[in-house]
Amino acid sequence: MASASLQEAVSVLKSTNVRMTPQRHAILEFLHSSMSHPTADDIYKSLEERFPNMSVATVYNNLRVFKDAGIVKELTYGDSSSRFDCITSDHYHVICNDCGKIVDFHYPGLDEVETLAEHVTGFEIEDHRLEIYGTCPACTKMSKQ
Amino acid sequence: MASASLQEAVSVLKSTNVRMTPQRHAILEFLHSSMSHPTADDIYKSLEERFPNMSVATVYNNLRVFKDAGIVKELTYGDSSSRFDCITSDHYHVICNDCGKIVDFHYPGLDEVETLAEHVTGFEIEDHRLEIYGTCPACTKMSKQ
DNA sequence: AGAATAGATTATAAGAATTACAAACAAAGA
DNA sequence: TCTTTGTTTGTAATTCTTATAATCTATTCT
């Protein structure tokens, strides 16, 4: 399920008769290289040079394909546009309320939460999502000046 | 910070020169009475009878006022429109991937997560958000038939 | 190889949620 | 009462995302 490398992601796709196109490869590549959890538009803009004719629809289409294949995750915060992230390992995000900066945060799984939720609610739990909000060091410094 | 009752919410607002209007009262009332985490449009529609002239903009404006005052929380899931929730106590949400049903789930605070995140990232942590996803009993039953 | 088929991309239009803005309104204070 | 501040309303504008149809590309089958 977790696809650590770009190659893994590609082979996951191959196994579900999804063709590997240059655009798809570029989007995946960008997602893997980027540490910044980009929006669809970020991706579109950053590939504009290499693919002058690429449509925004292609970005959205493929992000959905990747999501369905389980190699990419969609993150919805308050700020209107979704952000996308390769699924690599179990980590959470710490988000700055001021500047929006996102920092990865590793934390031993919250499996017990899922187990408990299953017992209490009767749901079949599949996943969970945890985010932590605060002020990043830079913004804290700024506000104290 | 936590406003358990409608009255508390009202007095929090009074203390920050925010006027209490009939529309605002109705929105708060609805949020408190509703267990369903409504969207802005849900709120708008449900108050249509009592306030035939109310504008959608009013709903959005006031939800933001409430958010800024810290008595209402915005929840963004994948599905385009935000949902709103009174801040009452520390509980989390279990969400059905099939039908979207949301069930409250009480869980002893994840304070340690915040503490750890503070140490690791240098952020000043203020808040966190946890959601749990799965399939509710009804949908599970359906899919097994 | 050539034809048929399935899948992908592109461009554009449409849709939905949210925000911006200006005008009209209401309340509080001097 | 007059002024000021804050609120609502209605509408237009913006933004993100999806739908659609046409074109293009790759794969498969004969």
pLDDT in tens, B24-44: 999 999 999 987 789 999 999
- Mean pLDDT, chain A, rounded, equals 85
* Closest chain B residue to the Cα of A103, Cα to Cα: B121
- Residue ranges with strand state E in chain A: 72-75, 83-86, 91-96, 102-106, 124-135
Domain spanning A6-86, CATH architecture: Orthogonal Bundle (1.10)
CA distance A6 to A11: 9
Determine how β-strand B72-75 pairs with β-strand B83-86.
Answer: antiparallel
Identify which of A123, A86, A128, A126 has the alpha carbon closest to the alpha carbon of residue A107: A128
pLDDT classification of A116: cutoffs 50, 70, 90: confident
CB B84 within 8 A of CB B63: yes
What's the pLDDT score for residue B2? 39
CB A44 within 8 A of CB A59: yes
Yes or no, beta carbons of A134 and B140 under 8 Å apart: no
CA distance A133 to A93: 8
For residue A26 the two structure tokens come to 């570029």
Q: Which tens digits make up the pLDDT trace of A18-75?
A: 899 999 999 999 999 887 789 999 999 999 999 999 999 999 999 999 998 888 988 8
CATH 1.10.540.10: does it fit domain B91-144? no
Residue with tokens 């693919």: A51
Distance from CA of A122 to the nearest CA of B (A): 6
CB B71 within 8 A of CB B106: no
CA–C1' distance A5–C1 (Å)? Answer: 39
For an interface test with A, the pick among B124, B131, B136 (most A C-beta atoms closer than 10 Å) comes out as B124
B111 Cβ under 8 Å from any chain A Cβ: no
Asked if B57 CB < 7 A from strand D, the reply is: yes
CA distance A141 to A135: 10
Yes or no, beta carbons of A126 and B134 under 8 Å apart: yes
B54 SS3 class? coil
In the 86-125 segment of chain A, residues within 7 Å (Cβ) of strand C are none
- Point out the nucleotide closest to A55 (alpha carbon to C1′): C10
| Domain spans in chain B, listed from the N-terminal domain onward | 6-86, 91-144
What's the pLDDT score for residue B40? 95
